[in-house]
């Protein structure tokens, strides 16, 4: 898909990987709607990038009405949605049993699944409904592209990551059947599985945790840059033959148990 003059929705666009994706897409001539809970950061991003190119909607991705009304707002303001990038997510850490041997409260597990997995499906399905109305575009006659954010934890989750890893494994499993469901409509579905990226989510972890994570990265021996994520998203959006796949973006890291 030619990106210039298209419309994207980026969830979690007020911070980190989502924020870098907003910057990257706007730089390529895409109008971007940011769906995030963080109003202050979202509004200041719109002030910075311009209200003609961006729109902020306070959205809880787990809430059907919240997402449906934000999608309506994007359609009213920009007239169509061609690209969806699901970046909203949380990364809680908790072991199945704590130090005293008590089981993890179920709410900890279900919150991660709810935001990371169910939230992504909630936005993707509602946005796909609008994408299906687009005129076919380009040589491939495509109507839209959905890019979800998985994680290398979806393949090799560490200790304390059972909830997070299960949510991201769900995202990986989602790409193919969703791409199959939407193939007839001309909508592609892919995911990116980042490794250790330098965002507030990672930079907020204790320094010894950050160091041990970077130690496992093969090359380049540093955290990934949010811009490297945004560049890959831009490529997936513009390359019509990438479909039903999850792409690792991780400097060849394979996560160890801890």
Ligand X SMILES: NC(=O)c1ccc[n+]([C@@H]2O[C@H](COP(=O)([O-])OP(=O)(O)OC[C@H]3O[C@@H](n4cnc5c(N)ncnc54)[C@H](O)[C@@H]3O)[C@@H](O)[C@H]2O)c1
Cβ proximity to ligand X: between 12 and 234 the closer is 12
From the list 78, 109, 164, 229, the catalytic residue is 164
Any idea how long the chain is?
258
| H or E stretch at 236 | helix 226-238
Helix (H, G, I), strand (E, B) or coil at 61: coil
Contact present, 119 and 62 (Cβ < 8 Å): yes
What is the token pair recorded at 115?
């935001």
DSSP at 97: B
Answer for which of 1, 12, 83, 251 binds ligand X (CB under 6 A) is 12
Q: Which residues in 182-235 belong to E strands, given as ranges?
A: 187-194
Cβ proximity to ligand X: between 54 and 151 the closer is 151
Binding mask 218-237 for ligand X (x = CB under 6 A): --------------------
Site for ligand X in 136-165 (CB under 6 A): 149, 151
Answer for which of 197, 217, 230, 255 binds ligand X (CB under 6 A) is 197
202 near ligand X (CB under 6 A): yes
Cβ proximity to ligand X: between 21 and 134 the closer is 21
What is the token pair recorded at 175?
């790409």
Query: CA-CA distances (angstroms) from residue 37 to 74, 132, 161?
Result: 16, 27, 23
194 near ligand X (CB under 6 A): yes
Whether 164 is a known active-site residue: answer: yes
Sign (positive/negative) of CA torsion 128, 232, 59, 177? positive
Binding mask 31-70 for ligand X (x = CB under 6 A): -----xxx--------------------xxxx--------
Site for ligand X in 107-136 (CB under 6 A): 115-116, 119
CB of 70 to ligand X, least distance (A): 10
Answer for which of 1, 8, 14, 189 binds ligand X (CB under 6 A) is 14
Instruction: Please name the residue that has the structure tokens 């979690």.
Output: 12
What is the token pair recorded at 237?
């959006």
Contact present, 255 and 214 (Cβ < 8 Å): no
CB of 133 to ligand X, least distance (A): 24
Residues 6+ apart with CB under 8 A from 144: 81, 82, 83, 84, 127, 128, 131, 132, 134, 186, 187, 188
Q: Considering only CA atoms, which of 67, 9, 19, 30 is closest in space to residue 197?
A: 19
**Interface size with ligand X, residues (CB under 6 A):** 31
24 near ligand X (CB under 6 A): no
Binding site for ligand X (CB under 6 A): 11-12, 14-18, 36-38, 59-62, 87-91, 115-116, 119, 149, 151, 194, 196-197, 199-202
- Known catalytic residues are 164
């Amino acid at each position: 898909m030619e990106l210039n003059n298209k419309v994207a929705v980026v969830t979690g666009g007020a911070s980190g990987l989502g924020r870098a994706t907003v910057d990257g897409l706007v730089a390529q001539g895409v109008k971007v709607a940011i769906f995030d809970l963080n109003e202050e950061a979202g509004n200041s991003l719109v002030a910075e990038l311009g209200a003609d190119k961006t729109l902020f909607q306070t959205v809880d991705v787990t809430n059907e009405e919240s997402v449906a009304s934000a999608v309506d707002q994007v359609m009213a303001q920009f007239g169509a949605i061609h690209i969806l990038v699901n970046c909203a997510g949380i990364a809680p850490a908790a072991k199945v049993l704590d130090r005293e041997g008590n089981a993890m409260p179920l709410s900890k597990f279900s919150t991660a699944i709810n935001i990371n997995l169910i939230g992504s499906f909630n936005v993707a399905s509602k946005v796909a409904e609008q994408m299906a109305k687009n005129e076919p575009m380009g040589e491939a006659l495509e109507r839209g592209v959905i890019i979800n954010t998985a994680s290398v934890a979806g393949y090799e989750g560490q200790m304390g990551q059972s909830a997070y890893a299960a949510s991201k494994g769900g995202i990986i499993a989602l790409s193919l059947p969703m791409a199959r469901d939407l193939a007839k409509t001309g909508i592609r579905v892919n995911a990116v599985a980042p490794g250790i990226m330098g965002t507030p989510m990672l930079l907020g972890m204790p320094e010894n945790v950050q160091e041990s994570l970077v130690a496992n990265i093969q090359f380049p021996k540093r955290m990934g840059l949010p811009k490297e994520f945004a560049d890959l998203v831009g490529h997936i959006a513009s390359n019509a033959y990438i479909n039903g796949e999850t792409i690792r973006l991780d400097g060849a890291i394979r996560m160890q148990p801890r």
